[in-house]
A and B are shown apart, each in its own frame.
Chain A
Amino acid sequence: MAKELEGKNRRVVSPVADICEAEGKVILRLEMPGVSKDNLEVKIENDELIIEGKREPTDSKGRFILRERRNADFARRYTLDDTIDREKVDAVMKNGVLHLTLHLKEASKPKKIEVKSK
């Protein structure tokens, strides 16, 4: 997944993700520390949900004593199926965590068919 985006200047890693479904919604939680709202891009292309976040590298003016953070941008892709409503996606970025809410299509919810008698 992330490999396709490599080859650009910086390394790309997958953000940590949690996915759950509740109340007719699919909720994604992606951890992207250091990514601000402006450096984040969430888009749907064909059947793919693409999440890309760029972040500033640690200011390296000086000598590194500890270097544990990954010097990389974030990217992750998901394939969406037909049950997801592409027009209704909510994205909230808070404290370096992206919350995406995908709504399921009304049509994919169980529907009762009324049978009429003549």
Chain B
Amino acid sequence: MDLIKWKPTELFDPIAEFDRIREEFDRMFGMEPVITGLFDRVKSPAIDLVENDDAFVLTCDLPGVDLKDLEVSIANNVLTIKGEKKDTREVKDAKVYRQESWFGSFQRTLSLPDAVDSDKIEAIMKDGVLKITLPKKEEVKPKQIAVKVS
């Protein structure tokens, strides 16, 4: 059961290698920040996906994204998280000293296995973290079979 496209990391990728070297240097000289936020990885939000017996639980970092600018949808077992991150600072003629974050639109798509019950999906946004619980269909949940002594 493949949930997402698997990208082998051990294959030599020259571009990734440059990124790795740069990160290594940044770490060595203590250059901040260690993370670059929402667009840290390939300009899409970072996701954790955990599978347990009852459900898949997705956690996604979306700091500064307003609920009204966020859209989560599912079609043909493909989950899409998309939205826009806006700068909410209301200042005019600001002198910018440092700008590490990124504003703009983002999108992330995940292929889900058929086993997910798309009617029972629950999504909660709290403190800039989106948590989506995708319950598994009853028939795919592991069942315990009681063995009786005859």
In the complex, whether A2 has a CB less than 8 A from a CB of chain B is: yes
In the assembled complex, the CB of A71 is this many whole angstroms from the nearest CB of chain B, namely 9
Q: Which residues on B sit within 8 Å (CB–CB) of A3?
A: 30
Residue from A19, A55, A60 whose CB has the most chain B CB atoms within 10 Å? A19
Fill in one digit per residue for A1-23: 1 if any B CB lies within 8 Å of its CB, else 0.
11100000000011111111111
The size class of the interface chain B forms with chain A is 35 or more
Q: Which residues on A sit within 8 Å (CB–CB) of B92?
A: 22-23
In the complex, whether B35 has a CB less than 8 A from a CB of chain A is: yes
Beta-carbon contact of B48 and A95 below 8 Å:
no
Q: Which residues on A sit within 8 Å (CB–CB) of B99?
A: 18, 20
In the complex, whether A104 has a CB less than 8 A from a CB of chain B is: no
Beta-carbon contact of B52 and A34 below 8 Å:
no
Q: Which residues on A sit within 8 Å (CB–CB) of B93?
A: 22
In the assembled complex, the CB of B143 is this many whole angstroms from the nearest CB of chain A, namely 17
Q: Which residues on B sit within 8 Å (CB–CB) of A69?
A: 46-48, 59-61
The answer, among A17, A36, A58, A76, for a CB contact under 8 Å with B48, is A58
In the complex, whether A116 has a CB less than 8 A from a CB of chain B is: no
Beta-carbon contact of B35 and A13 below 8 Å:
yes
Beta-carbon contact of A68 and B41 below 8 Å:
yes
Beta-carbon contact of A20 and B96 below 8 Å:
yes
In the complex, whether B3 has a CB less than 8 A from a CB of chain A is: yes
Beta-carbon contact of A95 and B30 below 8 Å:
no
Q: Which residues on B sit within 8 Å (CB–CB) of A18?
A: 89, 96, 98-101
Closest to B41 in A: A68
Within 8 A of A (CB), among B36-53: 36-38, 41, 46-53
22 A-B pairs within 8 Å (CB atoms) are namely: A14-B34, A16-B36, A18-B99, A20-B96, A22-B94, A27-B89, A31-B63, A34-B129, A35-B127, A36-B126, A36-B127, A55-B127, A58-B48, A61-B52, A62-B50, A62-B52, A63-B52, A64-B49, A64-B50, A69-B59, A95-B62, A95-B64
Q: Which 3 A-B pairs have the closest CB atoms?
A: A96-B128, A62-B52, A16-B37
